[in-house]
Amino acid sequence: MTGSNASPDQILSRLARAAFDPLGWVETAASGPYVGVVGFDVPTEILVAAGLHPVQLRGAPIAATVADFDGLGLDPVAASHVASFVRGDYAALDYLVISHDRSMNAKLFYVLRELARLGELPQRPRLAFVDLRHMPRPATSAYNRRRVHQFAELVGRWCGGTLTDVDLQRAIDETNLTRRLLRSFEAARRSPEAPFRSTDALAVLGAAQVMEPAEFRRAVVSLLDGVGGRPERGPRLYVSGSTPEDPRPYQALDSLGAVVVSEDHDLGLRRRAEPIEPGDDPLGALASAYGTPPPVAGWEPLGARARHAVDAARAAGATVVLEVRYLHDRALGWEWPSMRRELLRGGIDGRSWQIPWPEAPEVPEPIASLIAGGDAQMSPR
């Protein structure tokens, strides 16, 4: 269906399914073995090098089951991963790898490890944690190199062997093809006659973390060849903040006519924009690429991220920076005043939209008015 005969809408539909229903996609896909990934700094090239298929998982809105785990101190997304694992939803996965891209994921790992110790987790998938840290210091880089080497050793054991540099270089080359294609897609998405709705763009970005790489690239190339332009109606938005667990925030923005032209959350290209140069030390290159990415929400020193958002919004031709924040993403709340000051200095409109995931997001009236052009001179608040 993703070949040359498929229509753009059919291609987009398949990409969206992969992006937002990764478990459903795994059930019908033909490749594997599958590794569920929670967190955005798992060096997935190591999995690819071992012939494994990484699948980025999303939080599942299963509130009733999540309530059984009250007192774990997990946010609803992390709690939904626990609930999904316990009730066997992850049984199609061979392994589950969690990374430390946010503190909540560390707690998620400890919780799952304890449930496993108590014999309350299904046998599949097997659990692992990759502890990459992100402060721009030599000590952290050295720590990350050791952790990446250990992860490669672990994955090698999973597959009954040792990963060679050639295996790793080949996997890096493979993912670099995807990274380059995504950059082309990003450019097409930003063009004034943007051919994609915001939700379409999010589906492409998300599917890259789920689909088999060659199949994904075929789909996106067909899409870029086949889609015509859509005249823009509303303002061009740069979205900052929480990583969407589902497409609903972007769908809501689309319905108002806005166009999201770029973003700094983890489905965006910030961590994937640059190809990795493996050189003669592919694991070192992966540690560097995943340990010290460009400023991402929730990671960088407060001012750095805010300044980056202003620069990136300008580069993308966005007229408004919209912080889309899940209420449970507590750290972002501490960043917003700094972001707001920086936006004011940069003369860019900025708004914060807070969403109680997994409830359906509703665009607040002031933001809807701004998008509709009713109050274009609103200042950040």
Partner 1 sequence: MSEASRRSTKVLAVTTDLNRRQREWFAEVRERAAERPIALVNADAPHEVFRAAGVDYVVVQWWSSLLSAKQRASASLSALRERGYPDDDEQYSALGLGEMLAGAGEEPWGGLPRPAMLSGVVTTDGSARVLEAWAQEIGATCFLFESTVDPRLDVERRWWDRLAHDWPLVLDPDRLDLMVAELEELIGIVDRRLGADFSVDRLAEVMALANEQLEYYRRTRDLIATSVPAPVSVVDTMPATMVSQWHRGSSVGRDAAKALYEEVRARVEAGQSACADEQIRLMWLGRGLWSDMALYQHFETEFGAVFVWSMYLSLAADGYLRYGDDPLRTLASRFVPMIEILRMPTWSSAWHDKEAQLHQIDGVISLGEEDYFSARALEARGIPVLRIGATNVDPRTWSRRGLIEQISRFLDDRVAPVAARRRESGR
Identity of the residue, 114 or 277, whose beta carbon is nearer to partner 1 in the bound complex: 114
Report the site for partner 1 in 67-86 (rule: CB under 8 A): 69-73
- Count other Cβ atoms within 10 Å, centred on residue 14: 20
DSSP per position, 89-158 = TTTT-SEEEEE-SSHHHHHHHHHHHHHHHTT-S-S-SEEEEE-----SSHHHHHHHHHHHHHHHHHHHHH
Task: Describe the crossing of helices 282-291 and 138-158 by its angle, rounded to 10 degrees.
Answer: 120
| Residue 102 interacting with partner 1 (CB under 8 A) | yes
Cβ(289)–Cβ(272) below 8 Å: no
Choose which of 336, 351, 363, 370 interacts with partner 1 (CB under 8 A).
336
Please state, in angstroms and as integers, the Cα–Cα distance from residue 77 to each residue in 107, 112, 278, 334, 359, following that order.
Answer: 12, 14, 34, 20, 12
Q: How far apart are CA 45 and CA 170, in angstroms?
A: 9
Choose which of 33, 303, 317, 346 interacts with partner 1 (CB under 8 A).
303
Choose which of 5, 27, 119, 139 interacts with partner 1 (CB under 8 A).
139
Residue with tokens 């912080």: 323
Sign (positive/negative) of CA torsion 42, 43, 45, 49?
A: negative
Residue with tokens 């300008």: 314
Burial readout 44-57 (b: 16 or more C-beta within 10 A, e: otherwise): bbbbbbbebbbbbb
| Residue 288 interacting with partner 1 (CB under 8 A) | no
Identity of the residue, 129 or 185, whose beta carbon is nearer to partner 1 in the bound complex: 129
Q: Least distance in Å: CB of 39 to partner 1? A: 11
| Residue 147 interacting with partner 1 (CB under 8 A) | yes
| Residue 7 interacting with partner 1 (CB under 8 A) | no
Please state, in angstroms and as integers, the Cα–Cα distance from residue 234 to each residue in 125, 175, 254, 303, 351, following that order.
Answer: 44, 34, 9, 29, 16
Choose which of 32, 94, 143, 177 interacts with partner 1 (CB under 8 A).
143
| Residue 331 interacting with partner 1 (CB under 8 A) | yes
The contact mask relative to partner 1 for 167-196 (x = CB under 8 A, - = no) is ------------------------------
Choose the binding region for partner 1 from 101-109, 199-207, 311-319, 361-369 (rule: CB under 8 A): 101-109
Which two structure tokens, joined as six digits, stand for 236?
């061009």
Identity of the residue, 4 or 123, whose beta carbon is nearer to partner 1 in the bound complex: 123
Q: Least distance in Å: CB of 166 to partner 1? A: 26
Choose which of 9, 277, 334, 373 interacts with partner 1 (CB under 8 A).
334
Q: Would you call 120 exposed, middle or buried from its count of C-beta atoms within 10 A (0-12, 13-18, 19+)?
A: exposed
Identity of the residue, 87 or 110, whose beta carbon is nearer to partner 1 in the bound complex: 110
Choose the binding region for partner 1 from 25-33, 87-95, 125-133, 362-370 (rule: CB under 8 A): 125-133
Which two structure tokens, joined as six digits, stand for 61?
């809105």
Identity of the residue, 62 or 116, whose beta carbon is nearer to partner 1 in the bound complex: 116
Going by their DSSP bridges, the two strands 349-355 and 259-263 should be labelled as: unpaired
| Residue 338 interacting with partner 1 (CB under 8 A) | yes
Identity of the residue, 135 or 187, whose beta carbon is nearer to partner 1 in the bound complex: 135
Cβ(273)–Cβ(47) below 8 Å: no
**How many residues contact partner 1, by CB under 8 A?**
47
| Residue 124 interacting with partner 1 (CB under 8 A) | no
Q: Least distance in Å: CB of 300 to partner 1? A: 10
Footprint of partner 1 (CB under 8 A): 69-73, 100, 102-104, 106-107, 109-111, 113-114, 116-117, 127-131, 133, 135, 137-140, 142-143, 146-147, 150, 298, 301-303, 330-331, 333-338, 340
